[in-house]
Structure 1
Amino acid sequence: MARYTTRAAEERVRSRVRRPARAAAAVTAVAAGLVLVLGAPAPAASGHGGGGDTPRVTRAALDPALVAGRGATVDFAEQEAENASTDGTVIGPDRTAYTLPSEASGRAAVRLEPGRYVEFTLPRAADALTVRYSIPDAPEGGGITAPLDVSVDGRHRATMTLTSRYSWLYNQYPFSNDPRGDLLHPDWWITECGCVPAATTPAPAIDKPFRPSHFYDEQRLLLGRRYTAGDTVRLTMPRNSTAAWTVIDLLDTQLVGAPHVERHAVNVLAFGADPTGRRDAGDAFDRAVTHARKRHLEVYLPPGTYQVNRHIVVDDVTIVGAGSWYTIVKGHQVTLDTPASDGSVHTGVGFYGKDAADGGSHDVHLSGFAVEGDVRERVDTDQVNAIGGALGDSTIDGLYLHHTKVGMWFDGPMAGLRVTRTVIADQIADGVNFHTGVTGSSVSDTFVRNTGDDGLAMWSEKSADARNVFAHNTVQSPVLANGIALYGGTDNTVTGNLVADPVREGSAIQVGSRFGAEPFGGHLRITDNTTVRSGPFELNWKIGLGALWFYALERDIDADIEVTGDHFLDNTYNAVMLVSDFPVKDKYAIRGVRFKDIRVDGTGTSVLSARSAGSASFENVDARNVGAVGIDNCGSFNFPASGSEFAVNDLGGNDGGGTTGPWLASWELPNTITCDDRPPVVPPPAPAPW
């Protein structure tokens, strides 16, 4: 158990730097020859990946019927490359960290060599598409560009220029763009070697690049005309490509329609904004905002690309674009001559409310545009987020946020924010973070993919986040940390979300007393969510997590917590884990969590892994395809003769099980010690209708 001790030390370090978990981007990666480091391709696919002429639409790589009513309502159709027609090679499925398949949606993708293609059949009318892909890094980091040919029914032809400048990270937190770099923290715990280097113990030799990750990026393309269901979209890697390979993960297609026009508003073009993106439009935006506030009018951003290389400070103003496909606010990352008072060493494009200490901003309404950043490294003190500051009594709707550090990072106290119908992709850190005293606010119908830290988070540092709701969002493929994370807080709700494919050092949903958070108080409701392909392997502890992970590191977790109506599908290890860190195992407990009306379809190991003192009750929890003993009960590892320090209360209706019999058997109750750190893993079958 020494590994718990060293993990705690690293946690304290990371807690100090997480305050800026306003993360920044990191780019870099691997040359063509390093693909074998990432995992050799699976056996070559035949002429078909399984798609044929019948399009197979998925949600988080699942049959949509399995997640009906859960996750974000989006206006695009998702199709996985491994289900499409291809003469390429299917890679995966694989859930091993630091591999290309592990970060792919559904844990599989298609690798193309020069001249190879993958072809999708449109399930419905579309005039726009998004490709999620990976190409190699430059040998010394920094990324490359490479072409991808796009054709629709062999007629419409376009060439996308793919890039790896915003992907490929290496090394230890907060990561590096240098694939050949030495350890960033030679005194930190190194999971791969199981040792703690010290001054008298030189750091072990490590293979380079060390811990490559964050492989994928996405790019959008307007097709210029409407195509109908049944038309085919072929993505081909040109024979003369500058890349050694191209991996296609998925294709999203949608019907965007015409741009939105706002006639009775202050048009930024009238104040000198350049819609070609050649000249900086920041000052023109400021003038338009000032004029609009005086006249009590909205600000309109017509179709175009606007270069903005700093924060646009907003207060008591509405800014409306022509739609996120048509209005793009794009900026360069700028190095500051001297660090800002908040520690930032860079600035970049973003819309920011005033600091809470200065009263914050109110009545801000942002809708219908994209923010494209240029963040290529993670600098935790940098304020290079797409949306930031304090925005009370405000709304954010229909944005597309891409290549910034965090999509939205809010520093409270603030109240009354509503985030809706927004897409957040390819962030270096979090998707959305409610930080410090954010209250009465919500995120709903928002789609988050490929974050470098938590997808959606409430972090009650210094002051409790309270009465907030994360409802009906989709979070896919967080590379590091969790899909949804709750660090302390009071009377918060997580409901109706779909969370898929967390990769490492986190899970689908985490309830954690960590990072200096205030305690959990009042009630916490985790209801009607679906997780899939979660419960990953924890590289630090070398054990499997739960798709739902309770973690008592700095305090007890003993609020009024109910987990009801949730579905945990295709869990790599456990469906639920409750754990306290080993150095505090006799100090902190997790008590009184209530589970009701739960479905567990497939676990590599157990339904419940209890590694803490405390208790939980279970009612109408149905499980099937359980790979090991239903309850892995270690308690707090004192193993007293009286049984585990963790008690399970059976309230009835708990049915089903797996290879070892009923998941909740009478002999396990209330606190039989069934502790097995590393039971054999039985990969579950694919989820199916209940």
Structure 2
Amino acid sequence: MTRPRTLVAAVAAASLALGAAATAPAAFAAPPGWNTPAPVVTRAGLDPALVAGRGADVAFLEQEAENAVTDGTVIGPGREAYTIEAEASGRSAVRLTPGQYVEFTLPAAANALTVRYSIPDAPGGGGLTAPLTVQAGPHTATMQLTSQYAYLYNQYPFTNDPDAGLLHPDWWVAECGCVPAATTPSFEPAAPFRPMKFYDEQRLLLHKTYKAGDKVRLTASADVPWTVIDLVDTELVGKPVVVKKAANVVDFGADPSGRRDSADAFDAAIAAAKQRGQVVYVPQGEFRVERHIVVDDVTIRGAGTWHTKVFGSEVALAEPAADGSTHTGVGFYGKDAADGGSTDVHLSGFSIIGDVRERIDTDQVNAIGGAFHDSSFSDLYIQHTKVGMWFDGPMSDVTVERNIIVDQIADALNFHIGVTDSVARHNFVRNSGDDGLAMWAESQGGTTLTNARNTFERNTVQTPNLANGIAIYGGTDNTVAGNLVADTIREGSALHAGSRFGAHPFAGTLIFRENTTVRAGTRELNWNIGLGSLWVYALEGSISGVHVTGDHYLDSTYNAIMLVSEWGVKDLYSMTDVSFADVRVDGTGTSVLSARVKGEASFQNVDARNVGAVGINNCGSFGFPPTGSEFSVADLGGNDGGGTTGPWMAAWELPNTITCHDRPPVVAPPAPTPWP
């Protein structure tokens, strides 16, 4: 499960201290009847009207801390990797010192909240813990915060040690523009080098239901020098779901207190359920499971993700397993694809909480793993595993829907090798350590199996702290539709199609339809250019058949669209049959289109505004022939609007005028607004 990547970096932070920022107005206790600020509900840090009908339908309401009442300090906005504000939703948050607070007004009745936060790492790594006081009405509760699952440093695959030297001194390092092992004296960056993954989140069930307009105040502890609050999600959680005619795991010895390991009891309940033709029921409680539960031809239901928790420690193996794993942990796995995989598996209604704190790519420590057919995974909450759901095909007809996957060390979900006719929809992903959602049609061992006819639809992906929001690596006739992707941070874009990582070639049509991206596109420091909110990358082969309709690219950090090949293969690979229609671009730091590849693309009814540089940055494949660029743009009509340099698609640019300026000044656009 390794995808080696060339790492890029911003200038490393010399310390984890937060920089100065504007101070928010101090709050006071308003007498009864006084007007207080109305709650500001957002989706991905935006007015929900701007993203209506896109992204996952979720049960909670999001409120960004920077919009709440506080006597703390608003940090950001900022988008430079390796800074705490860059990993914040909406790219701003609130920093509290001990005793300071941030106070939210409930927009609707709620009895539960999720807090996304950051506290410092321990000086030598490994994390700290600290309480957070939660006051709801006259009642006070304590939420225990931790940074034990945050803070990675250095080069891929990263380390928990902030003082570590370069993990790969023989790799190119952008900070010095050198290969350190080849320099005299050898370059050694200041520690901590490339700090990342600052945030984590905690959930809390309140003791009662509070009505709209009630206040929830979060007050920082003196146990740590600072606490950053990014956002709060509030919701109204129903009572535990009870399934009576079922194989109840407690009846087979499972311990709902979490003190004893319940893995054997789960196995026994599954065996009994299959014999009786029943479902397995996991009731309200906390169940410790410290190995894989193998599932086949079984339905397992919990009492709801807030009520049923299956958790476990990461367990070191006495010797590596046959698959290379050096650890095991809580997870529900289908049979291996070589054994035909598992069939008719349906998991729903519980949380899976792991204990993964470092990235070891050979480890099988995912919440869901293996191969499945005719199966479904729904209404799950997954946190602190390596990958939320990693499927190794061949497999088919799998549905993944309405899950919340947060705080992963690597991907949230990956359809890997020969996954066909499957769909992931209405899933909510935040703070993945690699691609949020990926289809990786890897040609492992020369297999002819490829990913085909799969769909990622109506998902929300926020703040992946490495790589892309949604990535498609090869495959045939796949679709990405109706998704919302926000705040990509480093080495990636919101939407990505890449001929890379040993994937099968793209075939048929890859469709991007009616997606919205927000504050997306990152700076690729090895190239020293900005990526697009949509990034198509021909690294290992030519790409054809990418059709984009109805996408909205909002507040792109650099380009809205980037079509690019690697310098070393720029004369080998091209892009053809690439089209854009009915697309809106609201704000770019640089161009609407940056083309660094040979080939062609067509545009029809692509409207743009607040464009920061020339509309089309056309470098082609850098041959700069007198006949014009090796990349051609076809204007099919209706391409309107522009920005600081005039119309984004100007007649003088067509069809292949060379307008190559890769590093223009970035002009930060205004915040997105409704389209007329």
- For the criterion TM > 0.5, the same-fold answer is yes
The letter of the residue matching 1:553 is L
Give the one of 546, 552, 572 matched to 1:567. Answer: 552
The letter of the residue matching 1:210 is F
Instruction: Decide whether the 8 Å contact of 1:89 with 1:111 is kept in 2.
Output: yes
Matching residue of 2:289: 308
Q: Deviations over 1:312-342 (max 9, x none)?
A: 0000000000000000000000000010111
Report how far residue 225 of structure 1 moved. Answer: 1.2
Matching residue of 2:510: 524
Answering whether residue 116 of structure 2 is matched by residue 120 of structure 1, we say: no
Instruction: Decide whether the 8 Å contact of 1:127 with 1:257 is kept in 2.
Output: no
Report how far residue 46 of structure 1 moved. Answer: 1.6
Report how far residue 53 of structure 1 moved. Answer: 2.7
Answering whether residue 233 of structure 2 is matched by residue 243 of structure 1, we say: no
The alignment partner of 1:18 has SS state of coil
Give the one of 638, 663, 679 matched to 2:623. Answer: 638
The alignment partner of 1:534 has SS state of coil
Matching residue of 1:627: 612
Report how far residue 537 of structure 1 moved. Answer: 1.2
Matching residue of 1:148: 132
Give the one of 221, 225, 244 matched to 2:208. Answer: 225
Q: Distance in 1 between matches of 2:366 and 2:585?
A: 37
Q: Distance in 1 between matches of 2:608 and 2:338?
A: 49
The letter of the residue matching 1:216 is Y
Matching residue of 2:19: 40
The letter of the residue matching 2:649 is L
The letter of the residue matching 1:44 is T
Q: Which structure 1 residue ranges, 4+ long, deviate > 6 Å from structure 2?
A: none
Percent identical across equivalent pairs?
Answer: 68
Instruction: Decide whether the 8 Å contact of 1:20 with 1:382 is kept in 2.
Output: no
TM-score scaled by length of structure 1: 0.94
Cα separation, partners in 2 of 1:66 and 1:48, compared to 1, 3 Å: farther
Matching residue of 2:58: 74
The letter of the residue matching 1:47 is A
Q: Deviations over 1:316-369 (max 9, x none)?
A: 000000000000000000000010111000000000000000110010000000
Give the one of 171, 180, 183 matched to 1:188. Answer: 171
Give the one of 283, 299, 303 matched to 2:280. Answer: 299
Listed as ranges, the matches of 1:467-616 within 5 Å are 467-558=453-544, 560-616=545-601
Listed as ranges, the matches of 1:309-458 within 5 Å are 309-458=290-439
The letter of the residue matching 1:177 is N
Q: Distance in 2 between matches of 1:624 and 1:666?
A: 17
Report how far residue 48 of structure 1 moved. Answer: 5.6
Instruction: Decide whether the 8 Å contact of 1:41 with 1:92 is kept in 2.
Output: no
Report how far residue 52 of structure 1 moved. Answer: 4.6
Q: Distance in 1 between matches of 2:185 and 2:578?
A: 45
Matching residue of 2:654: 669
Answering whether residue 155 of structure 2 is matched by residue 172 of structure 1, we say: yes
Report how far residue 257 of structure 1 moved. Answer: 1.3
Cα separation, partners in 2 of 1:392 and 1:202, compared to 1, 3 Å: farther
Instruction: Decide whether the 8 Å contact of 1:112 with 1:237 is kept in 2.
Output: yes
Give the one of 442, 445, 452 matched to 1:461. Answer: 442
Instruction: Decide whether the 8 Å contact of 2:590 with 2:613 is kept in 1.
Output: yes
Report how far residue 120 of structure 1 moved. Answer: 0.3
Q: Deviations over 1:94-148 (max 9, x none)?
A: 0010001000000000000001000000000101000000000000000010010
Q: Distance in 2 between matches of 1:139 and 1:61?
A: 32
Matching residue of 1:4: none
The alignment partner of 2:133 has SS state of strand
Please tell me the root mean square deviation across aligned C-alpha atoms, in Å.
1.6
Give the one of 251, 268, 273 matched to 2:249. Answer: 268
Q: Distance in 1 between matches of 2:523 and 2:647?
A: 24
Instruction: Decide whether the 8 Å contact of 1:20 with 1:381 is kept in 2.
Output: no
Instruction: Decide whether the 8 Å contact of 2:595 with 2:631 is kept in 1.
Output: yes
Instruction: Decide whether the 8 Å contact of 2:15 with 2:191 is kept in 1.
Output: no
Answering whether residue 663 of structure 2 is matched by residue 682 of structure 1, we say: no
Q: Distance in 2 between matches of 1:583 and 1:248?
A: 44
The letter of the residue matching 1:295 is R
Give the one of 171, 179, 188 matched to 1:205. Answer: 188
Specify which structure has the bigger relative contact order, considering alpha-carbon pairs within 8 angstroms and separated by 6 or more residues.
1
The alignment partner of 2:181 has SS state of coil
Which structure 1 segments of 5+ residues have no match? 1-15, 22-28
Instruction: Decide whether the 8 Å contact of 1:375 with 1:384 is kept in 2.
Output: yes
Report how far residue 391 of structure 1 moved. Answer: 1.4
Instruction: Decide whether the 8 Å contact of 2:166 with 2:188 is kept in 1.
Output: no
The alignment partner of 1:464 has SS state of coil
Instruction: Decide whether the 8 Å contact of 1:367 with 1:399 is kept in 2.
Output: yes
Q: Distance in 1 between matches of 2:197 and 2:62?
A: 21
TM-score scaled by length of structure 2: 0.96
Q: Distance in 2 between matches of 1:538 and 1:205?
A: 21
Give the one of 256, 264, 270 matched to 1:289. Answer: 270
Cα separation, partners in 2 of 1:251 and 1:345, compared to 1, 3 Å: same
Give the one of 637, 647, 657 matched to 1:652. Answer: 637
Length, aligned pairs only: 659
The alignment partner of 2:16 has SS state of helix
Q: Deviations over 1:215-243 (max 9, x none)?
A: 000000000211110000000013xx211
The letter of the residue matching 1:77 is L
Q: Distance in 1 between matches of 2:315 and 2:550?
A: 47
Q: Distance in 1 between matches of 2:660 and 2:134?
A: 54
The letter of the residue matching 1:169 is L
Report how far residue 538 of structure 1 moved. Answer: 1.2
Q: Distance in 2 between matches of 1:20 and 1:189?
A: 12
Q: Deviations over 1:600-638 (max 9, x none)?
A: 000000000000001000000000000000000000011
The letter of the residue matching 1:40 is G
Q: Deviations over 1:629-677 (max 9, x none)?
A: 0000000011111110000000000000000000000000000000002
The alignment partner of 1:641 has SS state of coil
Instruction: Decide whether the 8 Å contact of 2:367 with 2:387 is kept in 1.
Output: yes
The alignment partner of 1:292 has SS state of helix
Report how far residue 201 of structure 1 moved. Answer: 4.2
The alignment partner of 1:35 has SS state of coil
The letter of the residue matching 1:598 is V
Q: Deviations over 1:426-460 (max 9, x none)?
A: 00000000000000001000000000100000000
Q: Distance in 2 between matches of 1:461 and 1:362?
A: 23
Instruction: Decide whether the 8 Å contact of 2:82 with 2:196 is kept in 1.
Output: yes
Instruction: Decide whether the 8 Å contact of 1:52 with 1:85 is kept in 2.
Output: no
The alignment partner of 2:174 has SS state of coil
Q: Distance in 1 between matches of 2:36 and 2:543?
A: 51
The alignment partner of 2:674 has SS state of coil
Report how far residue 35 of structure 1 moved. Answer: 3.2
Give the one of 84, 95, 98 matched to 1:111. Answer: 95
Instruction: Decide whether the 8 Å contact of 2:274 with 2:298 is kept in 1.
Output: yes
Q: Distance in 2 between matches of 1:57 and 1:196?
A: 47
Report how far residue 194 of structure 1 moved. Answer: 1.3
Q: Deviations over 1:459-506 (max 9, x none)?
A: 000231100000000000000000000000001000000000000000
Matching residue of 1:7: none
Instruction: Decide whether the 8 Å contact of 2:613 with 2:643 is kept in 1.
Output: yes
Give the one of 48, 70, 73 matched to 1:89. Answer: 73
Instruction: Decide whether the 8 Å contact of 2:374 with 2:397 is kept in 1.
Output: yes
Q: Distance in 2 between matches of 1:18 and 1:620?
A: 37
Instruction: Decide whether the 8 Å contact of 2:72 with 2:94 is kept in 1.
Output: yes
